[in-house]
A and B are shown apart, each in its own frame.
Chain A
Amino acid sequence: MGKLSSNTIEKIEKSFVYIAIFTFIGLTLFPLIWVFTTSLKPNDETMSFPPKLIPEHVTLENYAFVFTDSTIVKSLYNSLIVSFGSMILNVTICALAGYALARFEFKAKRILFSLILGLFMIPVVINIIPLYSILANLGLLNSLVSLILTFQILIIPLNVILLKNYFETIPKELEESALIDGCSRIGVLRRITIPLSMPGFAVASIFSFIFSWNEFVLPIVLANSPNSTLFQVALYQFISLYRIEWGYLAAGITIALLPVIILIVAFQRQMIKGFTMGSIRG
């Protein structure tokens, strides 16, 4: 065999790179795909041995069960309320804070910005016991509003940085120009700043929605009464309630996964950009 040309070597290298990446992605997605196909299997097939990836008979009975269980439906509803509520509150708060940090020069700016970043360093889990104690003493456990408020601590720092960086990409001159052109301060926000910040708001909203939707520890500690359970917690309670019915659980997981997957597929470009802006530039 003669010497391989550098071109051939490069091709072999390339194919190796692709094989490695695809293998990794395959391994990564395998557990989720497995769960998903399980959710489509009838109950007797779920625990059959040997296990099969592709269901023999596709059925939606697991989904039908999930959507008729009143606790689960209630928890889905709660999760939607809390996630949207938390998202709207969060984006409003963080937009205000980010705008102040991006556009104004004031004495305490550095201190307040460091405070926001510094508080980010406190691990939230360390706070679950005192939060439980405080809310219990105030009689505010098992309340969706409490959840919306406490969820803010998970996402405020990230989104403040993200939106601050976003506002900084919008030239200040646009706002000044609008002021000179005859806008009031409010008019500038309405006609210039807010429309131009929409992509930033979108990414921030997605982040806070996903964080709230996925959060498990805070709701299981602070709101586990049947009326205030969130979806992730309700799925967890499957374990004790139904001795793990894998088919139902798999359907539940698929439902939990759905909004997140849709968001990431629809907004992958903005998300990756937002991720880099939020975590690296800050």
Chain B
Amino acid sequence: MHSIARYEPYLYLLPAISILCVFLLFPFAWNIYISTHGVSITTILKEWEFVWLDNFIQVLNDPNFHTSIKISIIFVGGSVAFQFLIGLVIASLLNQNIKGKQILIALIMIPWITSGLIAAFSFKFIFDNSFGIINYMLEYLGFSSIAWLSDPKIVVWSIIIANVWYGTPFTILFLTAGLLSINPSIYESAKVDGASKIKSFFYLTLPMIRSFIIIDIILITIWSINFFEIPLIMTGGNPLFASTPASLYMYRQAFEFGLLSKGSASGIILLSINIVVAFIYIIALKRRG
């Protein structure tokens, strides 16, 4: 009876671990193999030629990749900043003593549980140059209409708006959980000590949910770096590469132009960016924690 029991937990963990190994860990290693060979969609079933680091050199010398890194920085920076700030404000408002909190949170969650495709299509629809409601409203208010999806300078902001819409509910929920973890009597004692609401927000609330804030920012940063459904569906990364962040660059190389190895190499570069960013944040989390 007891000798079987020793292996029991391993038996239960086996399916989960093996699926993760086969579909996550092994492909991860395979990626390195692909990136050092010359493989395209058309040659995938033929012999692969070993090309050393050619693919990496190609990617790093590709002006479109440079553009895509620039786009990534704007896209990630803008998405994270707005998601976090809006999320913090709304979470703080929800944390006031208000009625029907549960149902309000459920409504707020809706964008987050829709798919990236739905988010992208909805915004493609309302941003449409000719019949979109946004341009109509701008004209109605006396402004000139904006080419939301075709002006290379604007388009990145259009995808940021859609992404912020899609991602902010997560931050709201996460920070709400953080705020709930604060003992309310702390505010009462601050009130007795004469702190204004604004002051107690900056001197009490923010420091107390610091670890929630950092973890939230880590998560939304990593997600924004890797997430490309919205630009892919809203604009296809166009015009040219003006709305192609690095993650979409990887996808387009592989599945639009068929250059699997080049995509793979850019995927590994993308991963290194992920690791560096995560590392920086983790240091930030440890240092002041």
Contacts and interface: CB of A to CB of B under 8 A. Distances in A.
Q: Do chains A and B touch in the complex (CB under 8 A)?
A: yes
Interface of A: 14, 17-18, 20-21, 24-25, 28-29, 31-32, 34-35, 38, 47-51, 92-94, 96-97, 99-101, 103-104, 106, 108-109, 112, 115-116, 119, 121-134, 136-137, 149-150, 152-153, 156-157, 160, 210, 213-217, 221, 232, 235-236, 246, 249-250, 253, 256-257, 260-261, 264-265, 268-269, 271-272, 275-276, 279-280
Interface in B262-278: 263-264, 267-268, 270-271, 274, 278
A134 B27 contact: yes
Contact of A28 (B107, B118, B130): B107
B214 interface: no
A43 B257 CA distance: 35
Interface stretch (B17-25, B71-79, B150-158): B17-25
Contacts of A264: 106, 109-110, 113
Nearest to A27: B165
Interface residues of B, number: 86
Contacts of B274: 123, 126
Interface in B131-147: 131-133, 136, 140
B222 interface: yes
A109 B86 CA distance: 39
A16 to B, nearest CB: 9
27 contacts: A20-B93, A21-B94, A21-B98, A28-B169, A31-B123, A31-B165, A32-B114, A35-B122, A47-B130, A47-B131, A93-B16, A122-B28, A123-B225, A129-B34, A130-B33, A131-B23, A133-B30, A133-B39, A149-B23, A153-B23, A210-B113, A214-B113, A216-B116, A221-B255, A256-B115, A264-B109, A269-B102
Contacts of A275: 173
B226 A126 contact: yes
Nearest to A215: B115
A58 B179 CA distance: 44
Per CB-CB distance, the 5 closest pairs between chain A and chain B, nearest first, are: A214-B115, A100-B12, A130-B27, A100-B9, A104-B9
A97 B238 CA distance: 44
B12 A99 contact: yes
A255 to B, nearest CB: 11
Interface stretch (B60-68, B199-207, B246-254): B246-254
A129 B260 contact: yes
Given A124-B24, A216-B233, 4 more contacts: A126-B250, A126-B270, A127-B24, A216-B229
Given A123-B271, A128-B251, A133-B30, A216 B117 contact: yes
B12 A96 contact: yes
Contacts of B184: none
Contact of A134 (B17, B30, B132): B30
Contacts of A108: 10
Contacts of A20: 89-90, 93
A137 B45 contact: yes
A31 B126 contact: yes
A212 B256 CA distance: 24
Contacts of A25: 104, 107-108
A128 B9 CA distance: 31
Contacts, number: 243
Given A104-B9, A133-B39, A24 B267 contact: no
B213 to A, nearest CB: 13
B182 interface: no
Nearest to B1: A185
B177 interface: yes
B178 to A, nearest CB: 8
B13 interface: yes
B96 interface: yes
A119 B122 CA distance: 32
A47 B268 CA distance: 43
B136 A49 contact: yes
B236 to A, nearest CB: 9
B137 to A, nearest CB: 9
Given A96-B15, A137-B45, A280 B177 contact: yes
Contact of A50 (B12, B33, B109, B136): B136
Nearest to A207: B113
A219 B34 CA distance: 21
Contacts of B255: 132, 221
Given A21-B93, A25-B107, A261-B110, A129 B122 contact: no
A11 to B, nearest CB: 13
B117 A93 contact: no
B281 interface: no
Nearest to A105: B9
A104 B8 CA distance: 9
Contacts of B15: 92-93, 96-97
B126 to A, nearest CB: 6
B52 interface: no
Contacts of A134: 26-27, 30
B187 interface: no
B162 to A, nearest CB: 9
Given A112-B13, A260-B114, A275-B173, A132 B254 contact: yes
A129 B114 contact: no
A17 B39 CA distance: 57
